[in-house]
Amino acid sequence: MTKTALITGITGQDGAYLAQFLLKKEYRVCGAFRRSSTVNLERLDYLGITDKVELVPLDLLDLGNIIRVLEKVQPDEVYNLAAQSFVAVSFDQPVATGEVTGLGSARMLEAIRIVNPKIKFYQASSSEMFGKVQAVPQNEKTPFYPRSPYAAAKLYAHWMTVNYREAYGIFACSGILFNHESPLRGLEFVTRKITYTVARIKHGLAKELRLGNLEAKRDWGYAPEYVEAMWLMLQADQPDDYVIATGETHSVREFTEAAFTCVGLDWRDYVVVDPAFYRPADVELLVGDAARAREKLGWQPRTTFKELVRIMVEADLERVRKECGQ
Ligand code: NDP
Ligand code: GDR
């Protein structure tokens, strides 16, 4: 029988890749988007799947709206990917971030409890919850120490997910995903900012790349592989929480160097450190241990750091070529 999935945050990076993955598995995919003056379907268009997804307006701020959408769509699985997901902005908009990223998940869980507690639920949790890290590498047992309003909101949503599982028996999983990137990553995030600017520099359209903290280290994986882990979690016999990561860490400086090397340039000739991009508090080192996911879900990353950088640089070179009509 055809399964139905409801994905919140369908217009974002992960929403688009997850929709593509579930369509291949012959799901009926309903994509929840928030109403705005211009709905951004760029990523679904990029993957050529806009017409294959049933789009439904949904705002995580509105419980009544969520309840009506669940009643109408009748999903078997809900993937809650919607969030104010940019850490830097969360320092300027802490309350709005809490409303969407924290309480938004609580509303979704509450709606599931009211409409149909048999719906399986995936929560997009984050390695940012480890923040000022208490152990290296981080796994599901590592204590959390959030370092931003975004991370604090995600931690609330994580514990609500655990609580709805334990209190009401809902099949609710929290995927603690480490950074994952792709050509569909938003331009405000450091990896895409780097690869897009490198492509513009290569085409003579930019002269410099302004960055903040070059020493921050992240465990960067490839987004299309990470959405597979979300699905695997909801197919397991029992609901649980899983770290999803590559187990390797690299600094922003290393990512920058690798991206410039892809186009035969020396990063030191172009990068300007600009304190405007520093955060009031930053997360200095993340590296995940995904052993539980490997053992229980059979999930493993496949794309290496160097391959990831190359995929992103090549996609941006192609984009910039088209943008300047070459
Ligand atoms: P994006 O920022 O690309 O996408 C976020 C999505 O949330 C967009 O579709 C956005 O819609 C939507 N959204 C924002 N506010 C609301 C709202 N009030 N109601 C409904 N929808 C809303 O994020 P990613 O795809 O990168 O990440 C997906 C999820 O995973 C997020 O929750 C993120 O915090 C989390 N995460 C991401 C990681 C990563 O490395 N990418 C790692 C760990 C966790 P719109 O297009 O209208 O802005
Ligand atoms: P992050 O991603 O905060 O890890 O959150 P981001 O790419 O924004 O920052 C990574 C690190 O790079 C440093 N940095 C810069 N960051 C940005 N955006 N712009 C810059 O110019 C810059 N210079 C240095 C940052 O200080 C930081 O240390 C992402 C999001 O997808 C979250 O939603 C998700 O939960 C986590 O990944 C896991």
Q: What is the Å distance from ligand 2's center to 323 Cα?
A: 26
24-41: average pLDDT: 96
- Of all protein residues, whose CA lies closest to atom 3 belonging to ligand 1? 12
Render pLDDT for 128-145 as a digit per residue (tens, 0 to 9).
Answer: 999 999 999 999 999 999
| Whether this model's pTM surpasses 0.90 | yes
Render pLDDT for 54-79 as a digit per residue (tens, 0 to 9).
Answer: 999 999 999 999 999 999 999 999 99
285-297: average pLDDT: 98
Q: What is the Å distance from ligand 1's center to 64 Cα?
A: 21
Higher pLDDT, 1 or 57: 57
- CB of 151 closer than 6 angstroms to any ligand 1 atom: no
- CB of 34 closer than 6 angstroms to any ligand 1 atom: yes
What is the gyration radius of the CA atoms in the chain, in angstroms?
19
The one-character DSSP state at 100 is: I
Indicate the burial class of 62 (C-beta count within 10 angstroms; 0-12, 13-18, 19 or more): middle
CA angle in degrees (0–180, nearest 5) for 239-245-246: 140
- CB of 40 closer than 6 angstroms to any ligand 1 atom: yes
What residue segments make up the domains of the chain, in order of their start? 4-180+220-244, 186-219+249-285+303-323
pLDDT at 325: 81
Alpha helices in the chain (DSSP H): 13-24, 42-47, 63-73, 87-92, 94-97, 104-115, 149-168, 190-202, 223-235, 252-262, 291-297, 305-323
Assembly ipTM: 0.99
> Taking the chain, what is the end-to-end CA distance rounded to the nearest angstrom?
47
Query: pLDDT tier at 300 (50, 70, 90 boundaries)?
Result: very high
pLDDT at 324: 87
15-32: average pLDDT: 98
Q: What percent of the chain has pLDDT over 70?
A: 100
Catalytically active residues are 126, 128, 150
Render pLDDT for 143-187 as a digit per residue (tens, 0 to 9).
Answer: 999 999 999 999 999 999 999 999 999 999 999 999 999 999 999
Best residue among 61, 69, 81 to mutate for probing ligand 1's pocket (most ligand atoms within 8 Å of CB) is: 81
326, pLDDT greater than 80: no
CA–CA separation, 182 vs 159, rounded Å?
Answer: 28
- Of all protein residues, whose CA lies closest to atom 1 belonging to ligand 1? 12
- Could you say which architecture CATH assigns to the domain 4-180+220-244? 3-Layer(aba) Sandwich (3.40)
312-322: average pLDDT: 97
Q: What percent of the chain has pLDDT over 90?
A: 98
* CATH class in words for 186-219+249-285+303-323: alpha beta
CA angle in degrees (0–180, nearest 5) for 191-5-9: 35
